[in-house]
Amino acid sequence: MGSLLVGAAVAAALLNLYGDVRRKMTQEFRAYGANVILAPAVAPGTSPGATVMDEQVVNQLKSGARRLKGLTFAPVLHVVARVKPVPSDPRLPEFQNLVAVGTDFAALRSLYPGWRIQGAMGNAALGLGECVVGAHVATRLHLAPGGSVELAVAGGGPEPISASPPEFRVAGILSTGGAEDDRVFLDLGSLQRLAGLEGKISLVELSLPGEGAEIERGVQVLARTLPGVEVRPVHQIVESQGRVLETIRGLAVSLTALILAIIGLCVMATMTAIVLERRKDIGVMKALGASDQLVMGLFLSEGAGLGLAGGVAGFALGALLARELARRLFDVSLGLSWWTLPLVVLMSVLLAGAATLLPVRIVRGVEPAVVLKGE
Amino acid sequence: MLTRIVGRSLTRRRRRKLLTLLAVTLGIAVTTAVSTIALDVGDRVGRELRSFGANIALTPVADSLPVSLGGTDYRPIGAGAYLAESDLLKLRKIFWRNNIMAFAPFLDVPVQAQGRRLTLVGTWFDQDLSTGKSEAFHTGVKSLHPSWKVEGQWPTDDDAAECLVGRRLARSLGIQIRSSLALRVAPGSNSAPQSTAAAVLAVRGIVETGGDEDDQIFAPLALAQKLAGLEGRVRRAEVSALTKPEDAFARSDVTKMSAEEFDRWYCTPYVSAICYQIQQVIPAAEAKPIYRVAETEGRILNRVGALMALLAAAAMVTSTLAVASMMFATVLERRAEIGLFKSLGATDARVATIFLLEAFVVGLLGGLAGYFAGSLMAQRLGVVVFGVPAQINWVILPAALVLALVVTLAGSALPLARGLKLSPVAVLRDE
């Protein structure tokens, strides 16, 4: 009984945890960043780097976000710009050509929680006159949070840009280790106005929740609802995630199977003890004319009953355990998943029944005369 | 006398004894298997996670800012600083060199093809860096980015005129596998001695990644260097290293560490420590962790570790319980023997010694057999789950033995105490 209880508790805890741990793991994987990119479809013969598309895509995404739960995305506009620190420093190059990124910075941050930002801006969105500069840009132009830069969009040719380019306050310094270190981030609207590209964006970075197959489905849904837009999954992320989750799942399943096998063994030992201990009762029953089948059925139903009781108690204990573990190890708060109750109880009953099958064979060997005589 | 009793008892009822031994073996085997896998899993999952690509970026310290958009670098060739290609070999000399899974250099060359400005990226595809005496080491984008999908073939690494073309670019230029691509270095590259350097490349394959690479052309590094007139130079490099998840200690300020703390930090494969070591051997480079990869990886590894610890604990508890209950049953069965011993004048201590000695032998044998069976099981399991057998861990052996002994002894002590309390007369008559 005790072993069954523990067994059912472990199984219930694992089952309860499993779904949530999976969800938590997929969530962790999302920190790798966008797994789908929406870009303008390339017509043959156009330069792919410089194309833009209509901002309307974002509105369509917003209405679609209700259907695809947990979807996060950030529109991005890339423009080559010319940046100059204010006040200008004679020791430095007069200006610096770099890529300016107009975006919803708070949304982009939530896509890439691994990015490190220096400066007191927290998770706030970028204000109108604010910008975030990449770490390389900051070292190159000797910028610190609180400083200012002038930013002008280089309009294709060498002709001078507007006479007094607008100034932006440096709200933070971004360190990512990637290409973002060489860029400047602005509010999307400000950059659109500066570049004369009102209502245009270069691409949308998108993070679809779920695993491989779900993401593939999401990609198809997006491709259908957004004509004229190229929806491309980032293979590196989508596939690697699937592979790693597959590995973890295989591991969890095989280890749980091993644990269940051990529990079966445990129940078997207990039932053997029970049957042996009651050899005399068996002898009496058989002497009174009970068939082997009847006595065996008795023990089997006792085993199943034990399984039932152990399963229910184990479920309660396991659910509590899972809640505690989930909070401590995975910091998720876990709701009771009632669907696991019938599963755990059924499993416990079946396991107890199966494990009783072998020990009840002892019943057959019990000779009433021998047992009752006292030897 | 004592040894004879125990010896006889062990050899007489063989079937029963073998069953007990089997139970102990199985219980310890499962515990061993789960712990072996749990100890191995960090390393394995770490390797799987490396398919997310590089987690360390190497750039020249004195570089100017790249102006790259949609995979095209708008900087002229001469601008900015470079790394020496030969320096990269030093990556194989750092303290944690065995944790470096792959690395590849990159040199972006602005080129013109079919009247369009494009980027040709020179890199290693699968470069052989084996040094005579040490083991073979191949590296390049093929091992750095295992998730890149290449249709057709990978180009070779000598300066043959071959290339890979990004999927999007191939579509917009109308290029197919085995067609050829004529290109020349974009003008305005003042440092290139012959600014009209041109080449015709055979397209060996089409690459699809979903990222900027879809708009680029990949060629052997040597070829790109020759085209740009930058022999022996590379713009940047990416490194994929196995790391330990960063903890609070890893985040503390390196400059404020005591000598002892510094040693500990230096000798732990934190991504920051590996970056530090890379900068030590290649002072001209700035090595930076790619945070989104490095941090996410650390968090996932921590989660997997917690999950494994949980499973290992569950397996340990259940198998301990199983073995203990088995022992409980076997000793309970032999109450009559206890009564007989006592009625023949054996003291309680004597009887206990006999039974515990038996349990000790069973526990020792079962523990040993269980350890080896469990290691075998772990190897099989490793092949199924990871495709590689799990590493056998000798540290587990003493732990398995101690566990086996504790479990068998405790499992027999309880029913023994109960059996000793009963009066021999009652036991012998009753049964």
Q: Sketch the domain layout of chain B as residue ranges.
A: 2-45+299-430, 55-240
Q: How far is CA B246 from CA B56, B215, B286, B300, in A?
A: 14, 35, 20, 12
Q: Which of residues 329-358 of B touch A (CB under 8 A)?
A: 329, 332-333
Q: B56 and B289 in contact (C-beta within 8 Å)?
A: yes
Largest CA distance in chain B: 110
ipTM of the complex: 0.71
Task: Please name the residues in contact with B56: beta carbons below 8 A apart, sequence gap of 6 or more.
Answer: A177, B238, B239, B240, B241, B271, B274, B275, B278, B287, B288, B289, B290, B294
Across chain A, mean pLDDT equals: 78
Q: B66 vs A37: CB contact, 8 Å cut-off?
A: no
Q: Which of residues 77-106 of B touch A (CB under 8 A)?
A: none
Q: B51 vs A236: CB contact, 8 Å cut-off?
A: yes
Residues of chain B positioned with their CB less than 8 A from the CB of A45: 172
Q: A262 vs B303: CB contact, 8 Å cut-off?
A: no
pLDDT digits (tens, 9 = 90+) for B147-182: 888 888 888 887 678 889 988 888 888 888 888 888
The pTM score is: 0.73
Q: Is the pLDDT of residue B106 over 50?
A: yes
Question: Measured between CA atoms, how close is B388 to chain A, in angstroms?
Answer: 12
pLDDT digits (tens, 9 = 90+) for A23-65: 777 777 777 778 888 888 765 555 544 577 887 878 777 776 6
Q: B44 vs A247: CB contact, 8 Å cut-off?
A: yes
Using the CB atoms, write b or e for B116-130: b if 16+ within 10 Å.
bebbbbbbbbbbebe
In angstroms, the CA A150 to CA A127 distance is 16
In angstroms, the CA A335 to CA A325 distance is 13
Q: B302 and B245 in contact (C-beta within 8 Å)?
A: yes
Q: B69 vs A50: CB contact, 8 Å cut-off?
A: yes
Nearest CB partner across the interface for A3, out of B66, B116, B322: B322
Give the pLDDT score at B371: 92
Token output for A298:
């008795």
CB contact B176 to A (< 8 Å): no
pLDDT digits (tens, 9 = 90+) for B314-356: 777 777 777 777 777 777 777 778 888 888 888 888 888 888 8
Tell which residue, A142, A136, A163, A131, has the closest CA to residue A88: A142
Q: How far is CA B88 from CA B65, B279, B285, B287, B359, in A?
A: 22, 11, 10, 12, 60
Q: A254 vs B296: CB contact, 8 Å cut-off?
A: no
CB contact B207 to A (< 8 Å): no
Q: 3-state class of A248 per DSSP?
A: helix
pLDDT digits (tens, 9 = 90+) for A65-99: 666 667 788 888 888 888 888 776 666 666 778 88
In angstroms, the CA A362 to CA A368 distance is 13
pLDDT digits (tens, 9 = 90+) for B142-151: 888 888 888 8
Q: Highest mean pLDDT range out of A6-10, B241-245, B309-313, B381-385?
A: B241-245
Give the pLDDT score at B179: 86
Q: B250 and B270 in contact (C-beta within 8 Å)?
A: yes
Q: To the nearest whole percent, how much of chain A has pLDDT over 70?
A: 86
Rg value, chain B, Cα:
33
Q: Sketch the domain layout of chain A as residue ranges.
A: 2-22+242-373, 48-54+65-208
CB contact B151 to A (< 8 Å): no
β-strands B198-208, B162-166: how paired? Answer: parallel
Q: A355 and A264 in contact (C-beta within 8 Å)?
A: yes
Give the pLDDT score at B426: 75
| Closest residue of chain B to A10, computed from CA coordinates | B314
In angstroms, the CA B351 to CA B199 distance is 93
In angstroms, the CA A314 to CA A307 distance is 10
Task: Please name the residues in contact with B65: beta carbons below 8 A apart, sequence gap of 6 or more.
Answer: A96, A97, A98, A136, A137, A140, A182
In angstroms, the CA A200 to CA A232 distance is 19
Tell which residue, A19, A15, A5, has the closest CA to residue A343: A15
In angstroms, the CA A143 to CA A173 distance is 9
Question: Measured between CA atoms, how close is A190 to chain B, in angstroms?
Answer: 19
Tally C-beta pairs within 8 A across A and B.
246
Q: Is the pLDDT of residue B278 over 70?
A: yes
Q: A259 vs B45: CB contact, 8 Å cut-off?
A: no
Task: Please name the residues in contact with A185: beta carbons below 8 A apart, sequence gap of 6 or more.
Answer: A100, A101, A102, A103, A105, A108, A126, A131, A132, A133, A134, A174
pLDDT digits (tens, 9 = 90+) for A125-137: 777 788 898 888 8
Q: B70 vs A176: CB contact, 8 Å cut-off?
A: no
Question: Measured between CA atoms, how close is B428 to chain A, in angstroms?
Answer: 9
